[in-house]
Structure 1
Amino acid sequence: MGKVAVLGAGSWGTALAIVLADNGHDVRLWSHRKEQADEINNYHLNKRYLNVQLPNNLRGFYDLHAAVNDAEAVVFVVPSSAIREVCSLVRNSLKEKTTIVHASKGIEPDTFKRISEIIGEEIPEYGEDNIVTLSGPSHAEEVALRHPTTVTVASKNRENAKFIQNMFSNEFFRVYTSSDVIGVELGGALKNIIALGAGISDGLGFGDNAKSALITRGLAEITRLGTALGANPLTFLGLCGVGDLIVTSTSAHSRNWRAGNLLGKGKSLDEVLQQMNMVVEGVRTTKAAYQLGKSQQVDMPITNGIYDVLFNNKDPKLVVEQLMKRDKKEEMDDYSSFI
């Protein structure tokens, strides 16, 4: 049992902090808002994000350096857009043998960097290959209620992956390991784009046929880009591929699905983001994946269509019509290069 700092007190960061506290660790949950840290300490609650009682050994911190002081592991769970800033703030406070984990999902626009690459750049002393990624099908609301959940931790450093697997694993939170960091990170990031599309489909009033097709063809699209970037195609058949894609594209717990649903009902992107009042990672990732697909010359029609909805104000119905009228193809053409 050791000291663990969780950086980011949103719903997912809080849920992971609960898992760690249940396992007997001394958990420091850092928030950039003092009133939130005070609520955690004074009432054992974080009502804005999760309406559950928090364990007594989970403490809120507003002082970032105090939160990470002497921590055996530091878990980054801030939005992908804040990763660089938080890394730069915390870099000089980490002890030499601290294990760095991240559970954020996204790709940086313009640079196309994955989260572990960003952390490796900002905290080079640790090396990108030593960083651990945690991802998989996991609604924070269900993790906080101790519902059975399975995730994957990936790292090139097998010892670090095993260490984090043991730190998080318990009777309701099962953790697998993987060495395919690229696949695990891309699966976790790109599924948010397809979840936006699934929400749009539901918002337009389409049924299960349309959503099933979108998820299945979305998986093919994710796999095409992932393998072009060096991922193992089999990773996308696992928890961080099809597993995360299903849970994020079919549930009202998913903020990406909810955002897409509002877009399908006619709301503008600005209206949706204002109403959500939470980070919708799929929006930023759509921009990055659109750019990345073009640079890699990878065919990504669903991503391109959602990009047009988000950033070119294109009518979602017109995008659907264009997707349905694309040139006829052999389905297995998408998979022949993976076999």
Structure 2
Amino acid sequence: MAHDSLYAAPTTAEAEPGAGRLASLRGVFVSWDAVIVAALVVAVLVASLTVENFATGRNAQFLLLDLMPLALIALPMTLIVITGEIDLSVASMVGLCSTLMGQLWLSSGLSLELICVLVVLLGAVLGAVNGLFVTGFGLPSLAVTIGTLALYRGLSFVVLGDQAVADFPADWTAAVVRAIPGTSIPVVVVPLLLLAVVFGVVLHATAAGRALYAMGNNDQAATFTGVSVARTKFWLFVVSGAVCGLVGIFWTLRYASARGDNATGLELTVVTAVLLGGVSIFGGRGALLGVVAGVLLLGVLRNALQLADVDANTLTIVTGSLLIASVVLPHAVADIRARLHRRRQRHPVAS
């Protein structure tokens, strides 16, 4: 399903020769994706000119590292929200996976490679629990994942208590922040880009992706077309959990600390980035390009504000404001489009 542009409402004039091409070009340049990309460019330019040390290679490296958890979790979250569901337990899954990694390293004697495999499997199991409640018992994902948000966070403190595990191998902690030689781009960005391509292809170039949009628009209609709605949504939650396991590993190694409060509040930032990228909270609409731009825009804004010594409370206010705007603005503009289109139909311009 194509991602709707904000203002390119169909008109009878588009049936005329050349009008369709003009409307298509107009739709490209005024789509929500284009708006977010333009906002990103403006934010980067303004920050580069006004915020000291923003436009440096070292800051770019830290910015990309900060964006890794957000960008990784936003990939499966995009698919989940497009189907009309949501997963608010992602940050708590990251925290629980981090504490399990720390506990296993502290007391199990297992190799770190095997521990990482087990952590990803734990994430998948946690996601499967969410998926089971949503698809097996028919419970709303909002209620389920609010519940598991608290449950998983509580369990993370049960695993380690208030202590932190920090004695991870130096070569592992250095590897996750190492830059590609001759650049300021962290090496870990490469697998992120590969995952983004995979998710993008699945969403926009396969029958499975079209099925996700169909589910977001109407579950029952999608079922009648042969889509296994429950099974598909279940596996989306499993994938979300597995990705949270990967993020738990990255978070632990980057900060060289496994703690029960790791990634607290990350779920709000992820949802903000996805909705800011144009994915409808009601499902059935969105594109991965917009989400990637939304992730970058949110990261640039937060990074610039931090460099400008803005306090954490203000950053939370900015994130919350962007979340509200990302829900309200697309629907407000779409409503204006519809009203203008109906007005043109009632009062066509005489030729």
Structure with the bigger percentage of strand: 1
Shared fold per TM-score greater than 0.5: no
Greater length-normalized contact order (CA 8 Å, ≥ 6 residues apart): 2
Structure with the bigger percentage of helix: 2
| TM tier relative to shorter chain | under 0.3
